[in-house]
Amino acid sequence: MRWDDFRSSDNVEDRRGEGGGGGGGFPGGGAGSLGIGTIVILCIIGWVTGINPAVLIGGAEQMSGGGRPRQEQADPQTQSQRKSKPTDENGKFAAAILGNTEDVWSTVLPNQTGRQYRPTTMVLYQGGTRSGCGSAQAAMGPFYCPIDKKVYLDTSFFKEMEQKFGVKGDFAYAYVIAHEVGHHVQDELGILGKVQGRQQNASSKVESNQLSVRIELMADCLAGVWAKNSNDKYNSLEPGDIEEAMNAASAIGDDKLQKQSQGYAVPDSFTHGSSAQRQRWFMTGYKSGQTKSCDTFRATGN
C-alpha cells in the first residue's frame, strides 16, 4: 500500500510510554457484578474475536442485571499534551491511515449520505490505558469506544496479527484500522446507538449476537468503501493488497477462530461473522464504493 504520501492525522493521542494498566475498572464497575473468572474469559474472547471486551462485559452485566456502563472522564490538558505526531514506524503508519480515512470520509459521507464527517481520535497505547468505556488492555485488540468516540490501538497488535493469525502486510493492518473507523462512521450516522439499544432490549443472547454480527459486517463493508474511494482518489493500492485484506478477514472469522480454539463452530455465538461473510462484505463495499451498499440489516442471509 502506498501510504507514505498520506497526510498524517492530527487526531492521534500517543500514550505509549506512560505505563500499562490504565487503572480503574470495566464498565459497570467491572467485578462488581461479574466474577473475575467471567471477566478473564470475556477478555480472552475479545482478544480472539477483536470485539471490545468492555462491550462484552457491559452486555454480560446487562444480562445478569448489573449496572450500565459509566463514562470515564479524562483531563483535557493531558489529552492536549498527548496529541503529537508519532515518530516510530508503526505510529507513523497508524497516523497516516487515520489521516487518509479522514480525507476520504470527509468527502464520501457528505456526498453519499448528506451527513458531515467529524473525525474520530485514535489513541495509541502500550499494555493498557483508560478509555471512556473502561480499561483498555492490549489483549483486547483494537476497538472503538462510542462513549468518547475514540479508536484504541496497541500497535503491538500488528505483530500479534502475524504471530497469532499468520496475517501480514500493511493493507491487512490498514483494514483493521479502517474497520474500527467504520464503527465511528456508524456512530456518526446514528446507527451504532440504535443497535446497542436494541441489544440491551434483546430477548436472548442469540438475538444480541446476531445484531452484533450485522454491525461488525457493516464495519467491514465500510472499510471496503474507504479502500475503494482512497484508491480512486490517491491510487493507494498495490498488487496483492486486496488479498492481504481477504487473508485478514478470513483469519478473524468467528467460525475459523472457534474451530481453532475448540474444534467446532457455534454460529449462534458468533459476534463478528464467519470468514466468508467478512470477506464478502468487505468486497461488497470495495466493489461499490457506496455507503448504501453496506446495509447489512436489510440483507438476507448475510
Calpha distance 116→119 (Å, rounded):
10
Q: Specify whether the CB–CB gap between 95 and 85 falls below 8 A.
A: yes
Q: Note whether residue 104 is domain-resident.
A: yes
**Domain enclosing residue 62, as ranges:** 12-294
The rounded distance, in Å, linking the Cα atoms of 32 and 11 is 34
For residue 288, name the pLDDT band (cuts at 50, 70, 90). Answer: very high
pLDDT of residue 76: 44
User: How far apart, in whole angstroms, are the C-alpha atoms of residue 301 and residue 175?
Assistant: 24
Q: 244-256: per-residue pLDDT in tens? A: 999 999 998 999 8
Mean pLDDT of the region 230-245: 96
301 within a domain of the structure (yes/no): no
Inform me whether the pLDDT recorded for 104 exceeds 90: yes
End-to-end CA distance of the chain: 29
Q: What is the pLDDT of residue 82?
A: 65
Q: Is residue 224 part of a domain?
A: yes
Residue 93 has pLDDT above 80, yes or no: yes
Instruction: Output the pLDDT for position 62.
Output: 37
- pLDDT of 67: 37
Q: What is the pLDDT of residue 206?
A: 93
Average pLDDT on 203-227 reads 95
Q: Is 104 exposed, middle or buried (0-12, 13-18, 19+ CB in 10 A)?
A: buried
Residue 246 lies in a domain: yes
pLDDT (0 to 100) of residue 69: 39
Q: What is the pLDDT of residue 232?
A: 97
Q: Give the Cα separation of 281 and 302 in Å (integer).
A: 8
Tell me the per-residue pLDDT of 166-209, one tens digit each, with 9 for 90 and over.
Answer: 899 999 999 999 999 999 999 999 999 999 899 999 999 999 99
One-letter-per-residue 3-state SS of the chain: CCCCCCCCCCCEEECCCCCCCCCCCCHHHHHHCCCHHHHHHHHHHHHHHCCCHHHHHHHHHHHCCCCCCCCCCCCHHHHHHHECCCCCHHHHHHHHHHHHHHHHHHHHHHHHHCCCCCCCEEEEECCEEEECCEEEEHHHCCEEECCCCEEEEECCHHHHHHHHHCCCCHHHHHHHHHHHHHHHHHHHCCHHHHHHHHHHCCCCHHHHHHHHHHHHHHHHHHHHHHHHHHHHHHCCCCCCHHHHHHHHHHHCCHHHHHHHHHCCCCHHHCCCCCHHHHHHHHHHHHHHCCHHHHCCCCCCCC
As beta bridge partners, residue 154 has 125
Band of pLDDT at residue 281, cut at 50, 70 and 90: very high
Q: According to the model, what pLDDT value does residue 48 have?
A: 45
The grid cell for 281 is 462484505
Please state, in angstroms and rounded to a whole number, the distance separating the CA atoms of residues 23 and 176.
26
* pLDDT higher at 157 or 104: 104
Residue 4 inside a domain? The answer is: no
Q: How confident is the model at residue 106 (pLDDT cuts 50, 70, 90)?
A: very high
Mean pLDDT of 57-79: 42
**Residues of the chain with pLDDT > 70: what percent?**
78
Q: Could you tell me if residue 5 is inside a domain? A: no
* Cell 443472547, residue located: 205
Q: Which residue has the higher pLDDT, 225 or 58?
A: 225
What is the C-alpha separation between 191 and 171, in angstroms, rounded?
26
Q: Is residue 192 part of a domain?
A: yes
Question: How much is the pLDDT for 298?
Answer: 87
More confident position, 84 or 169? 169
d(CA 280, CA 214): 13
The lowest-confidence range among 59-63, 76-80, 181-185, 223-227 is 59-63
Give the pLDDT confidence score for residue 85 in this predicted structure: 83
Band of residue 241 on the pLDDT scale cut at 50, 70, 90: very high
61 pLDDT above the threshold of 70: no
**Residue scoring higher pLDDT (286 or 18):** 286
Q: What's the pLDDT score for residue 8? A: 96
For range 51-63, the mean pLDDT: 46
CA 141 to chain CA centroid, Å, is 8
Specify the number of domains making up the chain. 1
Would 2 be classed as within a structural domain?
no
Residues 45, 262 contacting (CB under 8 angstroms): no
**Percent over 90 (pLDDT), the chain:** 66
Query: What residues contact 127, with CB distance under 8 A and at least 6 apart?
Result: 19, 20, 21, 137, 138, 154
* pLDDT value at residue 164: 86
CA atoms within 13 A on the CB side of 149: 13
